[in-house]
Amino acid sequence: MAYDFSQLNDKEFEILVTDLLSAHFGTHIERFKPGKDRGIDGRFFADDGKTVIIQCKHYLKTGYKGLIAKCKNEEAAKVDKLKPSRYVFVTSLPLSADNKADIKKVFGRHINREDDIFGQEDLNDILAKNPNIEERHFKLWITSKTIFSRIINNAIKGRSEFELERIEKNSFKYIQTSNHARSIKILREKHVLLISGEPGIGKTTLAENLCLFYASKDFEFVNIEESLSEAESIYERDKKQIFYYDDFLGSNYLEAIENKKDSHIMKFIERIKNDPTKRFILTSRTNILNAGILYSPILENYRIKSNEFMLTIEALSAIDKARILYNHIWFSKLSEDYINELHKNKRYRKIINHKNYNPRLIEFITDTTRINLSNSSAYWDYVVNTLNNPKDIWSQCFKSQSNPYVRNLVKLTVFNGGSIAENDLRISFARLNSLEKLKNPSHTEKDFRSTSQLATRCFLNRNRSSSSTYYTLFNPSIADFILNEYCSDPDGYTDSFKSLYTLASLRHLLALKEAGVVTATDGWELKNALFKDAFEEGKSYDYLVFITYQFIHDESKRDKTIDLLTRIIERPSEITQLEMFIELLEIHCKQISIGNFEFMLRCIDNQHLSTSEIDSLIEFMDSHSVRNEDILDKLRADLEANFEDSVESSKDNLDLSDYVKFEGYDLWGEEDYCYDNDEIREKINDDAMTEYSSGALEELGIDAWEIIDRIDIDDLVADFISSLDRSNGDEYGGYRSSPDQDIDDLFERT
What pLDDT is attached to residue 666?
Answer: 58
Within a domain: 704: yes
Please give the single-letter amino acid code of residue 269.
I
Q: Are residues 177 and 285 in the same domain?
A: yes
- Average pLDDT score over residue span 359-366: 87
Contact call for residues 241 and 235 (beta carbons, < 8 A) = yes
Q: Is the pLDDT of residue 506 over 90?
A: yes
Question: Is 266 domain-assigned?
Answer: yes
pLDDT at 49: 74
Averaging pLDDT over each range in 48-62, 207-221, 292-306, 416-430, which range is the top one?
416-430
pLDDT over 90 at 108, yes or no: no
Higher pLDDT, 390 or 654: 654
Last residue in a domain, options 313, 329, 364: 313
* Side-chain half-sphere CA neighbours of 184 within 13 A: 17
Q: Residues 155, 215: contact at Cβ < 8 Å?
A: yes
Residue 394 lies in a domain: no
pLDDT at 726: 40
Whether 337 maps to a domain, the answer reads: no
Name the residue type at position 357. Answer: Y
Choose one of 313, 343, 369: the last residue of a domain.
313
- Residue 324: DSSP 8-state: H
Q: Which residue has the higher pLDDT, 31 or 348?
A: 348
Task: Report pLDDT digits (tens) over 218-277.
Answer: 888 888 876 677 778 788 888 899 999 887 776 555 555 556 666 778 888 888 888 999
Rounded Cα–Cα distance for residues 510 and 518 (Å): 9
180 with 284, same domain: the answer is yes
Claim to verify: residue 168 and residue 193 sit in the same structural domain: yes
Residue 194, φ and ψ in degrees, nearest 5: -110, 115
What would the mean pLDDT of 196-204 be, rounded to a whole number? 78
* pLDDT at residue number 267: 82
Same domain, 119 and 170: no
* 100 and 234 co-located in one domain: no
Residue 735 or residue 504, greater confidence: 504
Integer Cα distance of 271 and 265 in angstroms:
10
CB contact set of 416 (below 8 Å; sequence gap of 6+): 424, 425, 428, 500, 502, 504, 505, 508
pLDDT at 274 (0 to 100): 87
Element (H, E) at 53: strand 51-57
Domain of residue 201 covers 142-313
Q: What is the CATH number of the domain that holds 79?
A: 3.40.50
Looking at this protein, which amino acid is placed at residue 499? S
Collapsing DSSP to helix, strand or coil, 462 comes out as: strand
Q: Where does the pLDDT of residue 301 fall: very low under 50, low under 70, confident under 90, or very high at 90 and above?
A: low
| Span of 180-189, 236-245, 305-314, 330-339 with lowest mean pLDDT | 305-314
What's the pLDDT band for 693 if we cut at 50, 70, 90? low
Asked if the model's pLDDT at residue 674 lies above 60, the reply is yes
Quick check: is 393 in a domain? no
| Helices marked H in 416-540 | 422-435, 443-446, 448-455, 477-486, 494-499, 503-514, 520-534
Per-residue confidence band for 481, with pLDDT thresholds at 50, 70 and 90: confident
User: Which range has the worst mean pLDDT, 317-321, 464-468, 497-501?
Assistant: 464-468
Domain count of the fold of the chain = 4
Do residues 22 and 131 both lie within one domain?
yes
**CA dist., res. 614 & res. 455, Å (int):** 43
CB 700 within 8 A of CB 636: yes
**C-alpha to C-alpha distance for 669 and 686, rounded to whole angstroms:** 36
**Alpha-carbon gap, residue 683 to 660, rounded angstroms:** 13
State how far the Cα of 499 lies from the Cα of 408, in Å rounded to an integer. Answer: 10
Least confident of 401-415, 554-568, 688-702: 688-702
User: Is 80 exceeded by the pLDDT of residue 354?
Assistant: yes
159 — pLDDT class (breaks 50, 70, 90): low
Q: What are the phi and psi torsion angles at 693 (to 5°)? A: -95, 120
Are 83 and 153 found together in one domain?
A: no
The residue among 2, 71, 78, 69 whose CA lies nearest residue 38 is 78
Confidence check: pLDDT of 517 > 80:
yes
pLDDT at residue number 546: 93
Q: What would the pLDDT profile of 33-91 be if each residue is shown by its tens digit?
A: 654 555 578 888 877 777 888 988 888 777 888 889 888 888 888 888 888 888 999 99
> pLDDT tens, 165-187?
777 777 777 888 878 888 888 89
- Average pLDDT of the residues in 437-458: 71
Distance CA 31, CA 130 (A): 19
Q: Are 248 and 265 in contact (CB under 8 A)?
A: yes
* 518 lies in some domain: yes
Instruction: Say whether both 122 and 73 belong to one domain.
Output: yes
Q: Domain ends where: 292, 313, 334?
A: 313
Residue 739 has pLDDT above 80, yes or no: no
Asked whether the CA dihedral 667, 670, 675, 678 is positive or negative, the reply is: negative
In the prediction, which pLDDT does 544 show? 93
Which of the residue ranges 104-108, 149-153, 729-733 would you say has the lowest mean pLDDT?
729-733
- Where is 283: in which H helix or E strand? strand 278-285
Same domain, 90 and 159: no
> What's the pLDDT at 736?
40
This prediction has a pTM of 0.57
Give the Cα separation of 213 and 143 in Å (integer).
11
Indicate whether 176 and 298 sit together in one domain. yes
Region 453-478: mean pLDDT is 79
Query: Could you tell me if 406 and 454 are in contact, meaning their C-beta atoms sit under 8 angstroms apart?
Result: yes
Q: Is residue 158 assigned to a domain? A: yes
The model's pLDDT over 559-610, given as tens digits with 9 standing for 90+, comes to 999 999 999 998 999 999 999 999 999 999 888 877 778 888 899 988 899 8
DSSP string for residues in 86-97: EEEEEESS---H
The answer to whether the CB of 577 falls within 8 A of the CB of 503 is yes
In-domain check, residue 221: yes
Report the pLDDT averaged over residues 404-417: 93
Residue 160, pLDDT score: 67
Q: Does residue 221 sit in the same domain as residue 108?
A: no
Q: Are 699 and 618 in contact (CB under 8 A)?
A: yes
- Helices 203-216 and 145-153, axial angle in degrees (round to 10): 100
What pLDDT does 750 receive? 61
The mean pLDDT value of the chain amounts to 82
Considering the domain architecture, whether residues 180 and 261 belong to the same structural domain is answered as yes
Residue of 24 and 140 predicted with greater confidence = 24
Q: Is the predicted pLDDT of residue 154 greater than 70, yes or no? A: no
